[in-house]
């Protein structure tokens, strides 16, 4: 259901407020450039500092612009189960196609707590649910055995895996079977994850090079190993520079340099340093994204 290249889309901001017009333009850019789906209100969309009203606004814009064109997998996770249910139900009412739910952060639940959290949210929505495991951000790692338990719940259909462990991802694929979709949450590991049975990506890099990321996913799906591998190496430098500072600072700066949005981020994130800005510009020039 959620396969291919999904962009972890940034939330454009201007003067401290969500820039809805620029968000609409960005989505149109993806519609025209091969992206398979939009993921609003993820980490890259600065979900942690959006108000509930802003979160609802961003998801609603994405659902409206993408209707009949691209899938919308709305980020609706929280470290509060009740809040995650509320955000997920709003996404459903807005017309999103699915919900992306990260593991609860900061409170560090047990594996049983993770199971109960996701099961509770899934019970309260008709949307397909994609789990999101990102221990580097949340301080908790959801184990393959827990994922396999959750995969038995009818509307839990996949996982975005950003543990960085190909061994763990392989075990999830092995335990959960072909009907459960594993999606890469790491741009640098996209090709290896596709090679072991992953079926797509939720990508930061796709914000600036949507067609290239979509092409890599398509080549892998067609078993075109040589061309998929070539794209993997072609994208290495830009994948690296997208994380030269805390995400989404580099990607928002890149989009600003490309003339698409303001580079504004919300505290506690701050602007890219002059040194890193110069490094970013140099890489963007290599990919002909700026002059």
CB neighbour list of residue 77: distance below 8 Å, 6 or more residues apart? 47, 84, 87, 100, 101, 102, 103, 104, 132
115, 160, 212, 219: the active-site residue: 160
For residue 64, give both structure tokens: 């409206």
CB neighbour list of residue 180: distance below 8 Å, 6 or more residues apart? 151, 157, 158, 159, 172, 173
Active-site residue, 105 included = no
Question: Nearest-CA neighbor of 108 among 146, 142, 148, 156?
Answer: 142
Strand pairing class (129-133; 98-102): parallel
Active-site residue, 106 included = no
Q: How far apart are CA 155 and CA 43, in angstroms?
A: 23
φ/ψ bin of 135: left (φ > 0), alpha (ψ from -120 to 50), beta (otherwise): alpha
Q: How far apart are CA 263 and CA 171, in angstroms?
A: 39
Q: How far apart are CA 140 and CA 241, in angstroms?
A: 26
67, 106, 132, 171: the active-site residue: 132
Q: What are phi and psi of 157, to 5 degrees?
A: -110, -10
Q: How far apart are CA 28 and CA 23, in angstroms?
A: 9
For residue 270, give both structure tokens: 């701050």
Angle between the 81-94 and 111-123 helix axes, to the nearest 10 degrees?
30
Tell me if residue 241 falls in helix, strand or coil: helix
Catalytic residues: 132, 160
């Amino acid at each position: 259901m959620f396969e291919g290249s999904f962009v972890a889309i940034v939330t454009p901001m201007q003067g401290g407020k969500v820039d809805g017009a620029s968000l609409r333009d960005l989505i149109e850019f993806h519609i025209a450039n091969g992206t398979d789906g939009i993921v609003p209100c993820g980490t890259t969309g600065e979900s942690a500092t959006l108000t509930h009203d802003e979160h609802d606004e961003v998801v609603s814009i994405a659902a409206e612009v993408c209707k009949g064109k691209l899938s919308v997998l709305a980020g609706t996770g929280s470290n509060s189960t009740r809040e995650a249910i509320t955000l997920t139900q709003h996404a459903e009412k807005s017309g999103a196609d699915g919900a992306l739910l990260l593991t609860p952060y900061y409170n560090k639940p047990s594996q049983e707590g993770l199971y109960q959290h996701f099961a509770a949210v899934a019970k309260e929505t008709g949307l397909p649910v994609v789990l999101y495991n990102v221990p580097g951000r949340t301080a908790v790692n959801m184990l393959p055995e827990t994922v396999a338990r959750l995969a038995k719940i009818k509307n839990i259909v996949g996982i975005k895996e950003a543990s960085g462990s190909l061994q763990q991802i392989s075990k999830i694929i092995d335990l959960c079977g072909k009907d459960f979709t594993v999606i890469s949450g790491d741009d640098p590991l996209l090709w290896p994850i596709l090679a072991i049975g992953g079926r797509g990506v939720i990508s930061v890099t796709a914000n600036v090079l949507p067609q290239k990321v979509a092409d890599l996913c398509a080549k892998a799906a067609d078993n075109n190993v040589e061309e998929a591998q070539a794209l993997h190496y072609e994208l290495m430098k830009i994948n690296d520079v997208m994380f030269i500072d805390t995400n989404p600072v580099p990607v928002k700066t890149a989009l600003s340099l490309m003339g698409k949005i303001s580079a504004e981020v919300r505290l506690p994130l701050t602007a890219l340093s002059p040194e890193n800005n110069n490094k970013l510009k140099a890489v963007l020039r290599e990919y002909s994204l700026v002059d």
